[in-house]
Structure 1
Amino acid sequence: MPELELTILMPCLNEAETLAVCVAKAQAFLRRAQITGEVLIADNGSTDNSQHIAEAGGARVIDVPMRGYGAALRAGIAAARGRYVVMGDADDSYDFARLDAFLERLRAGDDLVMGNRFRGGIEAGAMPFLHRYLGNPILSWLGRLFFRTPLRDFHCGMRGFSRDSIAKLDLRTTGMEFASEMVVRATLVGLKISEVPTTLSKDGRSRPPHLRTWRDGWRHLKFLLLYSPRWLFFYPGVLLVAAGTLLSGILFFGPIRIGGIGFDIRTMLVACTCLIVGIQGICFATIARSFAEDMNLLPPSERYGRMLDACTLEFFVFGGAAIFVLGIGGLITAIVQWGEANFGPLDVSSLLRVVALSTTAITVGAQLVFAGFLAGLMSIKHS
């Protein structure tokens, strides 16, 4: 079958109330723009006659047994016959009769063209208050921060893309976080991404939407964090290590006062805890980055490649063992000091400083040794 220029793809789960008008608008656009294309419905198990409605309107329907927004779209992209795909929800919130800007950018060579509802206009009541002023802005800001993408509307459901470019991304999620995965993976591999204004209308359904604010918001946030070991593990780890090392190093020599507030052994214990947690975070970042590259979740990075090459099993094990031995030495020193006093009363504050730093060194050393062996185990290749 010859390749078409455009597939207009709609995921569908019981959209009988609005599907006919969405298909009609999409067909009208294809006729008006004189495009060789198709309307494709990825049906996710509808029980309300949606499939028959779509076929009656001239759309092609595929059945997607696996439930989930992402599962439906993945199947739809795989089945699309168009060189380009424009996807959008089948609830009549997006205008399929006005896809000109998407197609223009795709023809110009962009790989992914995102709609921007904040630039195009949001009808009153079309987007819940929390989504419009809290969820979407915060998640979009995190997406720009974590992945350096310029997009202002990270989660717009109306978007167009080159079918082949997106198919090569090997997208894997099956739920609402699929929208984030597409943008993140496209950004990471350097696809050409642009943004065009699009409108959002109040959907025409009488039932509640499939989207669940807190559940799906958490799924998007979780995905962004999992795909950024730097922000999830490395940066917090470095911050905790720096703060813990500085504070415990100062307090090891005695209490200090800042602005009338005293800091002593209890603060030092907190600083030691920060140091331990921070080291753990950095270890997790190293292992997570290596694992993500091996699983083709993140593209290779020259900078992180050099770091991963340096962080060998021997580096972790021998470095950790040395720190562990230093900690044991400090603990023995504390016991000797106690023994010199016939295991009687001591300057408790002074002794606790040595014990705190020594036990921290023992814990950090053990962490590094275990992390080294875990990284070594995960680096074993299989054919």
Structure 2
Amino acid sequence: MSKTIELSIVMPCLNEAETLATCIKKAQKFLLENQVSGEVIIADNGSTDGSQNIAKTLGAKVIHVEKKGYGNALRSGINYALGTYIIMGDADDSYDFESLKPFLINLRKGHDLVMGNRFKGGIKKDAMPFLHKYLGNPVLSFLGRLFFNIKIGDFHCGLRGFSKEAYYKMNLKTTGMEFASEMIVKSKLNNLSITEVPTILHKDGRSRPPHLNTWRDGWRHLRFLLLYSPMWLFLIPGILLMITGILASGVLISQSIIIEKIVFDIHTLLYTSSMVLVGFQFFVFYALTKVYAVENQLLPKSNRYEKLFKYLNLESGLIIGFLLLAAGIGLSFYGISIWKNFEYGNLNPSKTLRVIIPAVFTGLLGMQIIFFSLFFSILGLKNSKQTQP
């Protein structure tokens, strides 16, 4: 009978001939000295410098990955891994594969994802670019903690461990560098146990520049965090816009506002009322993004998702929409009556537009709510079928 493999150490590789042998030897030494039944897997993403032969010579398992991308390479390597636990790390000799004991201990304790924290463990001189150390990583990690309530200090540490069972629950989809963020976010959304251990980051041993592109890959991480948190991207900005617009419009409808000789009048009213419409569009995008993400298995279903279809239904939407539309029509007729009193001649814009702008605004908002309710009810039909026993 073949021996059960407890730990698979997976390294993505693209032309890492200068450092690959060192990383493999360190990983093998860790397995041997700690009497861990394990394997070393090199997920090669099309190397042309002989990295594959180096890995094979040292007894590592080489997985050829045709589709380019950090995420593609790791997903392929992890899928071929036979270990109960998996530890992934870059093959540039920036992480010490001889110091994996804290990761394995926490995995054995039952944690689903064990993250390395370079800021706690230490960053050696010239190991991390200035922008990454003081701007990129701290800002993106802060946003990740804020958006998803994850108590992790280093979102982008490339050295991390997880169980194979937990990996399947994550259902990861991304193909590039944002794979690192998706793993943490999906772990949190699926209520998996996450912890972190201090990790030292060394200066990599390559003579060529790293594959990581500061601005491009930073944007991909930020974009991922925003798209996976539609509440922060759409819902909260939308609510703030609508509340601000409604309050400001309510005051400007009755009178102009003068602040230090600056007069806010009907022109400002036009902008404040538009804020409400834009805010509602943000809300619509929140709802549609949430539905798309859940139905395409990018996000797990939650109680909040079910409430979308409970409270945002066709009947309530049509009632609110038609009431606003009726109000808009009523205000329009009131405006026409004012115009009639002046024998359809010139009017005082400061007075009449305080009627016409709300008339147009409520009519447009009413129509938007009606159309949104009709479309959302179609999505709800699919949702209701899926939830039937």
Give the structure-1-normalised TM-score. 0.96
Contact 1:11 1:43 in 2 (8 A): yes
1:299-378 equivalence runs, <5 A: 299-378=300-379
C-alpha RMSD of matched pairs (Å): 1.6
Given residue 118 of structure 1, which amino acid in structure 2 is its aligned partner?
A: F
- Paired residue for 2:230? 229
- Paired residue for 2:119? 118
| Local SS of the residue matching 1:168 | helix
d(CA) in 1 for partners of 2:375, 2:53: 54
Q: 1:167-186: per-residue Cα shift (whole Å, max 9, x none)?
A: 22210000100000000000
1:1-20 equivalence runs, <5 A: 1-20=2-21
Contact 2:169 2:190 in 1 (8 A): no
Contact 1:291 1:378 in 2 (8 A): no
Q: 1:265-307: per-residue Cα shift (whole Å, max 9, x none)?
A: 1221121111111111112222222332323322332244234
Contact 1:78 1:167 in 2 (8 A): no
- Paired residue for 2:104? 103
Range with bigger deviation, 169-178 or 372-381 = 372-381
Name stretches of at least 5 consecutive residues in structure 1 with no aligned partner. Answer: none
- Paired residue for 2:210? 209
Given residue 180 of structure 2, which amino acid in structure 1 is its aligned partner?
A: A
Q: 1:182-209: per-residue Cα shift (whole Å, max 9, x none)?
A: 0000011110100100011111111111
- Paired residue for 1:60? 61
d(CA) in 1 for partners of 2:178, 2:381: 31
Contact 1:9 1:88 in 2 (8 A): yes
1:181-192 equivalence runs, <5 A: 181-192=182-193
Q: Percent identity?
A: 53
Range with bigger deviation, 322-331 or 300-309 = 300-309
| Local SS of the residue matching 2:54 | helix
CA shift at 1:373, angstroms? 2.6
d(CA) in 1 for partners of 2:294, 2:97: 38
d(CA) in 2 for partners of 1:364, 1:120: 54
Q: 1:18-56: per-residue Cα shift (whole Å, max 9, x none)?
A: 111111111111111110000000111111111101111
d(CA) in 2 for partners of 1:302, 1:311: 14
| Local SS of the residue matching 1:252 | helix
- Paired residue for 2:256? 255
d(CA) in 2 for partners of 1:379, 1:307: 9
Contact 2:43 2:77 in 1 (8 A): yes
Matched, 1:282 2:260: no
CA shift at 1:316, angstroms? 2.4
Given residue 285 of structure 1, which amino acid in structure 2 is its aligned partner?
A: Y
d(CA) in 1 for partners of 2:326, 2:293: 33
Contact 2:339 2:345 in 1 (8 A): yes
Aligned length: 383
Range with bigger deviation, 358-367 or 248-257 = 358-367
Contact 2:173 2:298 in 1 (8 A): no
d(CA) in 1 for partners of 2:260, 2:37: 74
- Paired residue for 2:28? 27
- Paired residue for 1:37? 38
Contact 1:5 1:35 in 2 (8 A): yes
CA shift at 1:238, angstroms? 0.6
d(CA) in 2 for partners of 1:371, 1:348: 33
Contact 2:44 2:52 in 1 (8 A): yes
Contact 1:42 1:76 in 2 (8 A): yes
Contact 2:152 2:196 in 1 (8 A): yes
Q: Which runs of 4+ in 1 moved over 6 A?
A: none
- Paired residue for 2:131? 130
- Paired residue for 1:145? 146
Range with bigger deviation, 313-322 or 144-153 = 313-322
Contact 1:45 1:65 in 2 (8 A): yes
- Paired residue for 1:241? 242
CA shift at 1:130, angstroms? 0.9
Give the structure-2-normalised TM-score. 0.95
- Paired residue for 1:174? 175
Name stretches of at least 5 consecutive residues in structure 2 with no aligned partner. Answer: none
Given residue 258 of structure 2, which amino acid in structure 1 is its aligned partner?
A: R
Matched, 1:218 2:219: yes
d(CA) in 2 for partners of 1:175, 1:122: 24
Q: 1:138-172: per-residue Cα shift (whole Å, max 9, x none)?
A: 11011001100000101111000011111222100
1:146-161 equivalence runs, <5 A: 146-161=147-162
d(CA) in 2 for partners of 1:294, 1:3: 37
| Local SS of the residue matching 2:119 | helix
- Paired residue for 1:81? 82
Contact 2:90 2:158 in 1 (8 A): yes
Given residue 278 of structure 2, which amino acid in structure 1 is its aligned partner?
A: V
